[in-house]
Amino acid sequence: MSTIRILCIGDVIGAPGRAMFQKHIDRLRAELKIDAVIVNGENSDARGRGITPRIVRFFKHNGANVITSGNHIWGNKEIFEFLGTAQQDLLRPANYPRTTPGIGVTIIEVQGVKIGVINVMGRVFMHEHLDCPFRTVDSILTYLKDKTRIVVVDMHAETTSEKNALGHYLDGKVSAVVGTHTHVQTADERVLPKGTAYITDLGMTGALNSIIGMKCEPILFKFLQQMPAKFVVEEEPPFVMYGAWIEVDTATGHATRIERVKIVDDAICSKDMDAA
């Protein structure tokens, strides 16, 4: 049986997240015999609320094959135009209106094998006006059908139930459904009965002692006072990198394995963050 391994990394938060990615990705690739890397970069700018063209190039330079995103893709205006260009490496959720800049699906080729990557966003407690993520993936699969059987879906959503539902809906139709957006890794990774690898949330890459990557104080202020507060990326160690890798049978496109990844590192300093 010929297989391929794909590593998916959860939402990278600000400079510490980028430094973690840069420091650990090559070793992970080698140790786990990874063929392709998909990273969610929606929070990877300095404020943890977007991505820039420079950061897209940073991820590519450091070995990411595809960068997925979510609701924070629109945090930097310079990315609007960038998404409208012909580049195929940065995805925004596919269920935005057809006229919105960017694409939500791409096909990459590694080791002579084509891998389709789809990014969609949930609607429950999020953007209820987006197109249906279930039907959006259905229609993309029609397009991918004669191109590749290996397909990974990044489902960027708030509720576990909506991600769970998409996993079961796509069981047997795609290689993997991995959740992002909630930034907390779930321990429910498994291969579903018909061969789709599934995890509700990959987790995040950034500061461990934080509230989903951001400094605690302003968020606590907001919860306690019910007033607006400016959220700031937490840059104090220790840092974590969370994700999961999947193994896929290239003949069937079905997953044979899914394993969680968790790295904790307290040695990253501001110099590493500046370099990332």
Site of tokens 């049986």: 1
> Least CB distance from residue 76 to Fe ion, whole Å?
15
Residues in 28-67 that interact with Fe ion by CB under 5 A: 42-43
Residues in 168-207 that interact with Fe ion by CB under 5 A: 181
- Residue 121 CA to residue 195 CA, distance in Å, equals 22
CB closer to Fe ion, 43 vs 136: 43
> Least CB distance from residue 13 to Fe ion, whole Å?
7
What is 105-117 written as a DSSP string?
EEEEEETTEEEEE
- Pick the stretch among 11-19, 27-35, 76-84, 249-257 that binds Fe ion (CB under 5 A): 11-19
Cα Dmax for the chain: 58
- Residue 37 CA to residue 204 CA, distance in Å, equals 15
Residue 11 found at the interface with Fe ion (CB under 5 A): yes
**C-beta separation of 111 from 150 below 8 A:** no
- Residue 53 CA to residue 42 CA, distance in Å, equals 12
Other Cβ atoms within 10 Å of 221 Cβ, number: 14
CB closer to Fe ion, 17 vs 116: 17
Length of the chain: 276
Counting residues that bind Fe ion (by CB under 5 A) gives 6
CB closer to Fe ion, 42 vs 247: 42
Q: Which of 22, 44, 65, 71 binds Fe ion (CB under 5 A)?
A: 71
CB closer to Fe ion, 44 vs 250: 44
> Least CB distance from residue 54 to Fe ion, whole Å?
19
- Residue 1 CA to residue 254 CA, distance in Å, equals 12
Residue 235 found at the interface with Fe ion (CB under 5 A): no
Amino acid at 105: V
> Least CB distance from residue 114 to Fe ion, whole Å?
28
3-state SS class at 126: coil
Residue 70 found at the interface with Fe ion (CB under 5 A): yes
72 is catalytic: yes
Distance set, CA 71 to CA 89, 108, 123, 243 (Å): 17, 23, 11, 19
The token pair at 73 is 């893709």
- Residue of 72, 156, 181, 254 marked active site: 72
CB closer to Fe ion, 71 vs 95: 71
> Least CB distance from residue 35 to Fe ion, whole Å?
25
Residue 123 found at the interface with Fe ion (CB under 5 A): no
Among all residues, which ones are annotated catalytic? 72
* Residues within the interface to Fe ion (CB under 5 A): 11, 42-43, 70-71, 181
